[in-house]
Amino acid sequence: MSAVANRKMVDSRGSFCPGPITDLFKAYRAANIGDEIEVWATDPAAKSDITAWAARSGNEIVEATQEKDYLRIVVKILKKGR
Amino acid sequence: MPLKACFCMATVTVQKERTPEREVAQNKVCIVLSKGSLDMVYPAFMIGNTAATMGSEVHIFFTFWGLSVLNKKKVGSLKISPVGNPGMPMPNILGMIPGMTRVATWMLKGKMKKIKMPSIPEMIATSKDLGVHLHACSTTMSMDIIGFPKEELIPEAEDIIGAATFLQLSQGATTLFI
């Protein structure tokens, strides 16, 4: 059994497109394969944008939960590009 | 297990064979920015910066009024024009009154600040951080009024290039003209 994944929090609440994506990307650059990045966002486009980003960059959405006033979405890093 | 597993594996293989081709085709985004008003400059950086986070190589070619973005003296004071912009919440003719451009710009900037949108200089800093290439158009640089000396280029500008270089850069890329 592997240890609990290293999870990094990105609070992007209040920022609009492409804010959540650039915030996520900055965390992604510092992350290692196997890490998880949890993004909090209020931008209505965040869910579809982050899903598209993950599909393109070869990473995986492991959780997407709509909390009361923000979206919580967890990306598992499977691939590192540049 | 055997039948179902085999079927899955076959599907996966087919997808893997297709992926590289798609990646090559989608991996470059080139934007020609020919306008210097805020409603044109923002989308260029929003799309360009996002494409860079998605792993694309991104080039923005600044030409005609778009070149103001790369001018140290102008980048901080880009405006939006109420003239010829039917989306503005006022009769178009009022846009011609002196000072209306300033009013419209002030209104737009206020609205953007409210939703914490980054300023254009901030968008440029982010683009540089993401590895977006910013190119100045050589012909525009030499034109009266729109052009300016090389010393006034912002440090984020990568080079001064011509149409042929841009066409070479954008070969096989998704290209947008704004």
Condensed to tens digits (0 to 9), the pLDDT of residues B116-152 reads 888 999 999 999 999 999 999 988 888 877 888 888 9
Residue B7 lies in a domain: no
Rg of chain A on CA atoms, in Å: 12
Decide if B8 is inside a domain: no
**Could you confirm whether A68 is annotated as catalytic?**
no
Instruction: Classify residue B29: in a domain, yes or no.
Output: yes
Q: Please report whether residue B111 resides in a domain.
A: yes
Q: Whole-angstrom Cα distance, residue B170 to residue B154?
A: 23
Q: Note whether residue B163 is domain-resident.
A: yes
Query: How many domains is chain B partitioned into structurally?
Result: 1
Q: Is residue B85 part of a domain?
A: yes
Our CA-based measurement puts residue B151 at a distance from the nearest CA of chain A, in whole angstroms, of 30
Residue B11 has pLDDT above 50, yes or no: no
- Taking residue A38's Cβ as centre, other Cβ atoms within 10 Å add up to 17
Residue B30's domain comprises 25-177
pLDDT tens per residue across span A10-62: 999 998 888 999 999 999 999 999 999 999 999 888 998 899 899 888 999 99
CB proximity under 8 Å: A 30-59 to B: 49, 52-53, 56-57
Q: Give the C-alpha separation, B8 to B3, whole Å.
A: 9
Omega of the bond leading into A18 within 30 degrees of 0 (cis)? yes
Nearest to B48 by CA among A4, A62, A49, A18: A18
- Contact call for B117 and A16, based on CB within 8 A: yes
B131·A82 Cβ contact <8 A: yes
Kindly list the residues from chain A whose CB atom is less than 8 angstroms away from the CB atom of residue B131: 82
Q: Does the residue B134 lie in any domain? A: yes
In chain B, alpha helices (H): 2-26, 38-53, 100-114, 120-129, 138-141, 163-169
CB B114 within 8 A of CB B35: no
Which CATH number does the domain housing residue B107 bear? 3.40.1260.10
Q: How many CB atoms lie within 10 A of CB B10?
A: 10
Quick check: B19 pLDDT over 60?
A: no
Confidence of residue B7 (pLDDT cuts 50, 70, 90): very low
Q: Above 80 in pLDDT, residue B36?
A: yes
Confirm if B100 and B173 have CB atoms less than 8 A apart. Answer: no
Asked if B130 and B49 touch (Cβ cutoff 8 Å), the reply is yes
- Percentage with pLDDT > 70 across chain B: 85
Say how far apart CA A23 and CA A63 lie, in whole Å.
18
Domain membership of residue B17 (yes or no) is no
ipTM, two decimals: 0.74
Closest by Cα among B143, B126, B118, B169 to B66: B143
